[in-house]
Amino acid sequence: MNMLTKEFTIGAEIKSLVRDLFPICRSLTGNGVRETLRIISETLPLNLVEIPSGTKVFDWEIPNEWNIEDAYIKNSKGVRIVDFKKNNLHVVGYSTPIDKRMPLAELEKNLHSIAEQPDAIPYVTSYYNKNWGFCLTHNDREKLQEDDYHVVIKSTLEPGSLTYAETFIPGESDQEILLSSYVCHPSMANNELSGPSVLAYIGKWLLEKKRRYSYRIILIPETIGSITYISKNFEQLKKNTIAGFNLSCIGDERHYSNIETRYGETLSDRVVKNLFKYDFKNNTTYSFLERGSDERQFCSPGVDLPIVGLCRSKYNTYPEYHTSLDNLDLVTAAGLSGGYQLVKESITSIEKNYTYKVNNLCEPQLGKRGLYPNISQKGHYGTVNAMMNFLAYADGTNDLISISDRIGVPMHELFPIVQKMYDNGLISTIETC
């Protein structure tokens, strides 16, 4: 199987997982999350953790568990004009139960639509304020006439638990790389089935490879989930985490993006910016001021984990975001494959990132090792430039990312060169981090 075929295959496999997960109604808590994690665990074994409602996590508290069976608005003729069974975005997330008749004017107070995107059902939640509501396309909303509407939401909002999953994949070192994505969004494909689906396959790949570092993969509800996870694992995370990535909206074909840590200078920042310099060229680096996903918590003052956000088109920047248009057309096998490659290359670059030091003073004689053209003539120097420039900065103060940045040669081009130098006894490594 050649590289291109393999890349296509992995994209198609991830897309298939996205497709399987798409119909499930997820929220911060509830059975939709559990079903989602169960399906993912068929690809990547996961440990499910349940945190009871009411548990304090830093400044927050685990909310009641929300489950929903059915929801609709019937007109006076008994026709379901808005139906949760057709699209779970129709119900505001965490809606309290209701069974009531009301005129249009009263109903309107609890309806949500987007005038500028009249064909899109918006995604709306009300996690921390008891409320109910329905979302619909603006076109459908405009058709509503005065009538006696029957509004039904068969939901429960009761003490239960918040569910998340984690898996720990040990490596040679105790030092860890944290990989995170979230499972709290209902039927939207990029935000957010792309993240957990790509992560499942990254986990599968990690399990099969030799690992220098250990990996901690978590699938959590956004915000409350990361706060909960950090709260429960703070010391461990602070002690061992040397890098990490939060995956979100990583399945469309348009673009590559990263969201920097607070000061943009961690190992994770550096490796992604290096990859963006040479590869994944259609990209944007967003500062922490543009954050919006769980990097908000991972990078908050005092937590300060070196976690960078990775996206294809960043959340909140593409028109389909948080609407029913974020669907299985937007997220493609090619798009998911690109997202997967970005994560994989970031990890590979960190795994192969060492600080090197030359073993000799002055340039080594490459010729006697067969590493240099033996005839010297004008114009013949280009071929060994990368090798010589790598050695010039292998002074024990620069890691490979720095050298790559400085000498203008991508990491993946340096890997075989470095290996050759190492095998020839020309350089030694100093463990980074």
> Across the strands, what pairs with 215?
169, 177
Residue of 394, 400, 417, 421 that binds a copy of itself (CB under 8 A): 394
Please state, in angstroms and rounded to a whole number, the distance separating the CA atoms of residues 426 and 96: 68
Instruction: Output the smallest distance, CB 197 to a copy of itself, in A.
Output: 23
- Which of 288, 334, 344, 432 is the binder for a copy of itself (CB under 8 A)? 288
The minimum distance between CB 97 and a copy of itself, in angstroms, equals: 18
Bridge partners of 241, per DSSP, are 176
What does the block give as tokens for 33?
């999350």
Distance, CA of 341 to CA of 280 (rounded, Å): 9
Whether 133 contacts 190, CB under 8 Å: no
Candidates 121-129, 211-219, 264-272, 331-339 — which segment interacts with a copy of itself by CB under 8 A?
A: 121-129
Measured from the CB of residue 297, what is the shortest distance to a copy of itself in angstroms? 5
Euclidean distance between CA atoms 48 and 181, whole angstroms: 15
Element (H, E) at 244: strand 241-247
Question: Going by C-beta distance under 8 Å and a sequence separation of 6 or more, which residues neighbour residue 42?
Answer: none
- The two tokens of residue 330 are 């937007």
Asked if 105 is part of the footprint of a copy of itself (rule: CB under 8 A), the reply reads: no
Please identify, among the stretches 146-154, 155-163, 269-277, 364-372, the one whose residues bind a copy of itself according to the rule CB under 8 A.
Answer: 364-372
Going by their DSSP bridges, the two strands 161-169 and 214-220 should be labelled as: antiparallel
Q: How far is the CB of 60 from a copy of itself (least distance, A)?
A: 5
CB of residue 62 vs a copy of itself: minimum separation in angstroms? 12
Could you say which of 31, 64, 180, 297 contacts a copy of itself (CB under 8 A)? 297
- 363/159 Cα distance (integer angstroms): 69
Q: Which of 53, 55, 126, 317 binds a copy of itself (CB under 8 A)?
A: 126
Nearer to a copy of itself, 42 or 395 (CB): 395
Using the contact rule CB under 8 A, the part of the chain among 36-44, 145-153, 292-300, 332-340 near a copy of itself is 292-300
CB atoms within 10 A of CB 379: 5
Q: How far is the CB of 219 from a copy of itself (least distance, A)?
A: 18
> Does 22 participate in binding a copy of itself (rule CB under 8 A)?
no
Q: What is the dihedral of CA 38, 40, 41, 43, to 10 degrees?
A: 150
Give Dmax over CA atoms of the chain in angstroms: 93
Interaction of residue 125 with a copy of itself, rule CB under 8 A: yes
Site residues, a copy of itself (CB under 8 A) = 58-60, 92, 112, 114, 122-129, 131, 223, 226-227, 230-231, 234, 262, 288-289, 291-292, 296-297, 299-304, 316, 321-323, 357-358, 360-365, 367-368, 374-378, 381, 388-389, 391-396, 406-408
